């Protein structure tokens, strides 16, 4: 079982893509260039670096969108940065006033640029004013590292991240769709420096991340286990999984759909989308003097047919796993068979 540095507070910082300002000034420019085929794939169009540099705001270095402002000497900057420079040109320090650079706006409207994720496989060419929106939804955009124990900023495609998890984070890799893991913790009341665990499973030609960790639920500590799919949400919905934990003649069973790693680890955890075990119940399952956490979590991943029935699973373990016929997520406590 893989474990990382004890670090509970995981905040996966991701660059937020913001659509260009939707105002009347921008709509005026779009009306002249938008057509019914603006999002169709087109032959690659070479755009000189000098033109791209003209459209780069000298303050924030982001692409500029209408209204683009300029000073009396012709230096430009974006509308978001104008208030930040107190109406003074950042280049020559002259007063900016309310002069718009309509010529540059029209030049931008005539441009068609490749997606910035071209190196990942996207071959689309998009109008300048549609490019940012496309890139925020591009299926080829890279994934963030799903490792939950550190501020890892690595991004890449799935094969790259799998190798990264194995080589850099030393995460355990397993083949098969069933699992049976034991979690032990000497101080179950401690949450701030709680030990979390991540294991990667390979089955059905895809990779799945199994998370287990402690977190604060109200005023009391609790534990959560959940599964994430290394791919997009549309593909994740083709699979289901179940988790089970128990002891002393009782058990809790959870069934759900894995979340895509497009959703951050913290987002999944804070939405309680997984098997949640309150501390008192976890200690009851652990038995003994209830001073040490000893949980055994078993589970199974399976693929759904189009009809919603279970198709099959790739079993590499002899451990029997409880599986409900229901497709909907649920959590229940019952007596062990």
Report field, pTM of the whole predicted structure over 0.85: no
The structural domains of the chain, with segments of one domain joined by +, span 49-110, 112-141, 149-303
Is 164 a residue whose pLDDT tops 50? yes
Range 306-329 average pLDDT: 39
Contact 246, 299 (CB under 8 A): no
Is 73 a residue whose pLDDT tops 70? yes
Q: What are the pLDDT digits (tens) for 227-281?
A: 999 999 999 999 999 999 988 888 999 999 999 999 988 899 889 999 999 888 8
pLDDT band at 320 (very low <50, low <70, confident <90, very high): very low
Is 201 a residue whose pLDDT tops 70? yes
Contact 115, 133 (CB under 8 A): no
pLDDT band at 190 (very low <50, low <70, confident <90, very high): low
Q: What are the pLDDT digits (tens) for 102-122?
A: 988 888 888 888 898 988 889
pLDDT band at 32 (very low <50, low <70, confident <90, very high): very low
- Which pLDDT score, from 0 to 100, does residue 48 have? 56
- Which pLDDT score, from 0 to 100, does residue 207 have? 97
Which range is least confidently modeled, 167-176, 282-291, 322-331?
322-331
Pairwise CA distance, residues 283 & 152, whole Å: 32
Which range is least confidently modeled, 28-37, 77-86, 175-184?
28-37
As a whole number, the mean pLDDT across the chain is: 76
Bridge partner residues of 172 (DSSP): 199
Q: What are the pLDDT digits (tens) for 87-104?
A: 889 899 888 888 899 988
């Amino acid at each position: 079982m893989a474990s990382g540095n004890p670090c509970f507070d995981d905040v996966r910082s991701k660059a937020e893509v913001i659509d260009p300002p939707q105002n009347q000034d921008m709509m005026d420019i779009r009306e002249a260039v938008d057509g019914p085929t603006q999002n169709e794939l087109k032959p690659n169009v070479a755009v000189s670096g000098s033109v791209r540099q003209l459209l780069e705001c000298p303050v924030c270095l982001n692409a500029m969108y209408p209204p683009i402002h300029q000073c009396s000497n012709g230096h430009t900057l974006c509308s978001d940065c104008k208030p930040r420079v107190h109406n003074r040109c950042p280049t020559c320090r002259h007063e900016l006033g309310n002069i718009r650079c309509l010529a540059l706006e029209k030049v931008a409207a005539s441009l068609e640029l490749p997606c910035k994720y071209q190196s990942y496989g996207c071959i689309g060419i998009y109008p300048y004013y549609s490019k940012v929106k496309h890139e925020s939804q591009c299926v080829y955009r890279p994934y963030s590292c799903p490792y939950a124990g550190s501020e890892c900023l690595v991004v890449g495609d799935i094969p790259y991240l799998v190798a990264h998890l194995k080589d850099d984070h030393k995460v355990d890799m397993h083949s098969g769709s069933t699992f049976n893991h034991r979690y032990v913790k000497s101080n179950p009341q401690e949450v701030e420096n709680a030990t979390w665990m991540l294991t990667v499973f390979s089955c059905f030609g895809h990779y799945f991340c199994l998370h287990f960790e402690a977190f604060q639920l109200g005023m009391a500590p609790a534990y959560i286990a959940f599964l994430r799919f290394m791919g997009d949400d549309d593909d994740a919905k083709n699979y289901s999984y179940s988790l089970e934990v128990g002891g002393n003649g009782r058990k809790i069973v959870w069934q759900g759909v894995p979340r895509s790693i497009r959703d951050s680890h913290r987002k999944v955890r804070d939405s309680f989308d997984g098997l949640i075990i309150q501390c008192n119940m976890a200690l009851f399952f652990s038995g003994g003097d209830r001073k040490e956490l000893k949980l055994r979590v078993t589970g199974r991943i399976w693929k759904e047919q189009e009809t919603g029935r279970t198709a099959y699973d790739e079993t590499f373990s002899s451990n029997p796993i409880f599986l409900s016929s229901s497709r909907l997520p649920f959590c229940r406590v019952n007596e062990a068979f």
